[in-house]
Amino acid sequence: MLTSPVVRCVKKQLGAEVHFLTKQSFQSILAPNPYIDKVYTIQNRVGEVMPQLKKERYDIIIDLHKNLRTFLIGINLPFVKRYSFNKLNFKKWLLVNFKINRLPKLHLVDRYFEGIKALGVSNDGEGLDYFINQEESALADILPEKEFTAIVIGAGYPTKALMIPQIVSIINNSSEQYILLGGQAERAKAVTIMKNLQRPVIDLVGQLTLSQSAYCIKRATQVITGDTGLMHIAAAFQKPIISIWGNTVPEFGMYPYYGNEMKQAKLLQVPNLSCRPCSKIGYEQCPKGHFNCIKGIDLSNLRTDPA
């Protein structure tokens, strides 16, 4: 999601043929993108596609992952000009381990563009892209006709998501229409939530593809979510977002990105918590055992300010 502005600007500003290498599980996100000419996928190792990549005779590699896999691509394509960006890992380590913040006040997307500025490519300010296949609109029959809020009940790690009692309280104490979104891993959580609700809610957790969930986000009036991929999809559709921050912090540069649009997500977090951030990614459970970074979030005002 966060690489999509770079892909768009490279395609439009350079007129280049753009190929994208990713894991197979993400192919559905990229396939409908009109700015990508070819998608290569792997299960685990870049060696799976290296013979094909060598045949392409690339002029440029843009590395927006910068890990061991992408390093190996550079080793195997040694004569291809490579552009990357500063991951700021040491500064992230300082913030996680010593709560010393030396990170720039710059979104990750803007750091990507700093890494390719020598190419003459600049950020067009149009934000993120997410393209949905037409067949996903079949969901229209099960979504509310009136305005509704989408709640993303899970996250990549539980320490980044609201707890069951919090979600139940949000819904039971509101007259708004809600739908629940999440993956199959959150199915048991959704069942427990539904058992404790006092009013009807549409539960779609574990029942949709990613693109179908994206279509629900596109139809929503606003989105309540943790630091998740669906948060970035909501930003791509310029949706008002209530963004929940548990063990991670917006200072890492991955808060909702709207481009030049004058929209502002509402970031909910517990300020001045000495153990936060405890990780730049997340944990299965709170390392301290108290989970105050989520329990302490003020959920009394869950409306975004007008854009």
Q: What confidence tens digit (pLDDT) does each residue in 170-212 have?
A: 999 999 999 999 999 999 999 999 999 999 999 999 999 898 9
Q: Which residues of 259-274 are buried (b: 16+ CB within 10 A; e: fewer)?
A: beeebebbebbeeebe
Q: Do both 198 and 89 map to the same domain?
A: no
Quick one: CA dihedral 182, 186, 188, 189, positive or negative? negative
Which of 57, 88, 83 lies closest to 70 in space, CA to CA?
83
Give pLDDT, residue 234: 97
- Whether residue 278 lies inside any domain: the answer is yes
- Whether residue 265 lies inside any domain: the answer is yes
Q: What is the pTM of this model?
A: 0.94
Q: Do both 80 and 186 map to the same domain?
A: no
Q: On the CB side of 103, how many CA atoms lie within 13 Å of its CA? A: 25
Amino acid identity of residue 127, one-letter, is G
Q: What confidence tens digit (pLDDT) does each residue in 244-280 have?
A: 999 999 999 999 999 998 677 999 999 999 999 999 9
Give pLDDT, residue 305: 52
268's tokens: 């909910």
Give pLDDT, residue 304: 58
Q: How far apart are CA 191 and CA 196, in angstroms?
A: 9
Query: How many other C-beta atoms lie within 10 A of the C-beta of residue 86?
Result: 12
Give pLDDT, residue 307: 39
Quick one: CA dihedral 182, 187, 192, 198, positive or negative? positive
| E-only strand ranges, the chain | 19-23, 38-42, 60-62, 81-83, 149-152, 178-181, 202-203, 222-225, 241-244, 266-268
Residues of the chain where predicted confidence (pLDDT) is lower than 50: 306-307
Query: Where is the domain boundary, 89, 119, 149?
Result: 119
Helices 108-115 and 4-14: crossing angle, nearest 10°?
40
Give pLDDT, residue 136: 67
Give pLDDT, residue 264: 77
Query: Where is the domain boundary, 71, 92, 119?
Result: 119
Q: What is the CATH number of the domain that holds 241?
A: 3.40.50.2000
For the chain, the domain total comes to 2
Q: Range of 222's domain? A: 134-295
Give pLDDT, residue 41: 97
